[in-house]
Amino acid sequence: MLEPRAGVLRMKEYHPPLGDRSGLRLDFNENTLACSPKVREVLGAISSADLTKYPERAPVEALVAEHHGLRPEQVLLTNGVDEAIHVLCQTYLNPGDALLLPVPTYSMYEVYGSGAEARIDRIAAGDDFVFPLDALLGAITAQTRLIAIANPNSPTGQTVRREQILRVLEAAPHAAVLVDEAYFHFLGETVIDLVGKTPNLIVARTFSKAFGLAGLRLGMLAASAEQMQWMRRVISPYSVNSLALACLPPALADMDYLNWYVAEVRAARVEFETALDRNGVQRWPSAANFVLTRIGAQHRRFVEEMRERNVLVRDRSSDPGCEGCVRITIGTREQTVNAIYALEAALAEIGWKGKG
Ligand code: PMP
């Protein structure tokens, strides 16, 4: 009988709960409103002839590189950061190599790492999901070929300090160190300036979150030109389509829109956190556009009760150390008024009496 590769048999499955998402989408950490109107203008002007051509990535890569203070050879556009993670696993992981991860963290590292037949070395975060620097440094071995650090992390919203990232980079010169800055805009701190100066650093960014382009599938990798030549070999030449490429220049040109959205989320996050505190719901400090809460034993019913009120939130209870936890995306302040209203009604419905 036909069987897939051993790595595929062992591969962790990932089924995002994407069914019926009408309502206020606070479940996938997307932009909850819209992308820049300038992007819509460009999309509307795309001709049929434009669609007949294969997409040309290089000129847009040059523009994105300039925007980030990098050289074109240091930038690779990808079909979302998810493809970037896949490319990294295919570039650096031999069967039996180790992928080192602080957990809980973003699921796709493990999905693609297991598909490449890597061993997954998971290091539990410290109390309150603090980045486990010492344990991580202690777990680096000769087999460690890829280390993935999301900053801010998902689903926790926790951050990693620059000095801590530098320690990891220095301790594992034989490993690719991915710093996944998918939520960079909400934090405002980056290590992208070290690209090219630190040979094993690879930074990922996405246009799915603050930029509001999750449906277009646009991400990027930044790394030294020496390393990038290998990733460029692995990636499919046309994985970023023409519509996505056309939308990048107007998205990057309208930083006013982006800054407005980020400021809106930051203000809304404070309001939502205040509401959680008022209701005695445990939460962790977040530098991203979401907040991790602990609802306790009733987490499933809580998610359902929120859905009853047209607000979608994400159950993260099965993530390591996240028993009873629900992650809630932060949108605009106006949306947050409704989210708080739904939160309080859902808590009342599950008989909430304080910390679950
Ligand atoms: N990294 C992290 C930490 C994320 O939370 C996400 C979004 N789910 C991604 C990467 C994937 O982003 P993209 O839409 O660019 O594939």
Q: Whose CA is nearest to atom 12 of ligand 1?
A: 81
Q: How far is the CA of 157 from the centre of ligand 1 (A)?
A: 13
To test the pocket of ligand 1, the residue of 28, 77, 112, 154 to mutate (highest count of ligand atoms within 8 Å of its CB) is 154
Ligand 1: lining residues by beta carbon, under 6 Å: 29, 80-82, 106, 150, 154, 180, 182, 206, 208, 214, 219
| CA 206 to ligand 1 centroid distance, Å | 7
Best residue among 30, 108, 202, 327 to mutate for probing ligand 1, ranked by most atoms within 8 Å of CB: 108
For residue range 52-100, list pLDDT tens digits in order: 999 999 999 999 999 999 999 999 999 999 999 999 999 999 999 999 9
Which ligand 1 atom is the nearest neighbour of the CA of 105? 3
Structural domains in the chain, CATH included, are 16-31+256-349 (3.90.1150.10), 38-253 (3.40.640.10)
The pLDDT, as a whole number, for residue 172 is 98
The whole-angstrom separation of Cα 18 and Cα 10 is: 24
* Cα(250)–Cα(69) distance, integer angstroms: 18
Q: Which atom of ligand 1 is nearest to the CA of 153?
A: 3
The confidence score (pLDDT) of residue 112 equals 96
Q: Write the residue with the smallest CA distance to atom 8 of ligand 1.
A: 28
Distance 327 CA to ligand 1 centre (A): 15
The CA 82 to ligand 1 mean position distance, Å, reads 6
What is the spatial distance between Cα 302 and Cα 157, in angstroms, rounded to a whole number?
21
- Provide the CA 98 distance to its chain's centre, in angstroms: 21
Backbone angles phi, psi at 231, to 5 degrees: -65, -35
Question: What residues contact 285, with CB distance under 8 A and at least 6 apart?
Answer: 157, 158
How do strand 325-329 and strand 282-283 relate by DSSP bridges? unpaired
Between CA 173 and CA 68 the distance in angstroms is 24
DSSP code string of 5-69:
-HHHHHPPP-----S---SEE-SS---SS---HHHHHHHHT--HHHHHSPP--HHHHHHHHHHTT
pLDDT band at 355 (very low <50, low <70, confident <90, very high): low
Instruction: Look up residue 160 and give its amino acid.
Output: V
* Ligand 1 centroid distance, CA of 107 (Å): 9
Cα 18 to ligand 1 centre (Å): 15
Cross-strand pairs, 122: 101
State in Å: Cα 84 to ligand 1 middle.
10
Confidence (pLDDT) at 354:
76
Measured from the Cα of 207, ligand 1's closest atom is: 15
**CA of residue 351 to ligand 1 center, whole Å:** 34
Q: How many CB atoms lie within 10 A of CB 68?
A: 18
> Model confidence over 105-119: pLDDT tens digits?
999 999 999 999 999
Report the separation in Å between the CA atom of 278 and the middle of ligand 1, taken as the mean of its atom positions.
31
Residue type, 259: N
**152, pLDDT greater than 80:** yes
The mean pLDDT value for 159-187 works out to 98
Give the residue, out of 77, 101, 106, with the most ligand 1 atoms within 8 A of its beta carbon, to mutate for a pocket test: 106
Separation CA 55–CA 237 (nearest Å)? 9
How confident is residue 340, by pLDDT bands cut at 50, 70 and 90? very high
> For the segment 303-328, what is each residue's pLDDT rounded down to a tens digit?
999 999 999 999 999 999 999 999 99
Q: Give the strand pairing for 98-103 and 119-124.
A: parallel
Coil/strand/helix, residue 149: strand
* Bridge partner list, 124: 103
Closest ligand 1 atom to the C-alpha of 209? Answer: 14
Amino acid at 82: D
137 Cα to the center of ligand 1, angstroms: 25
Q: Is the pLDDT confidence value at 356 over 60?
A: no
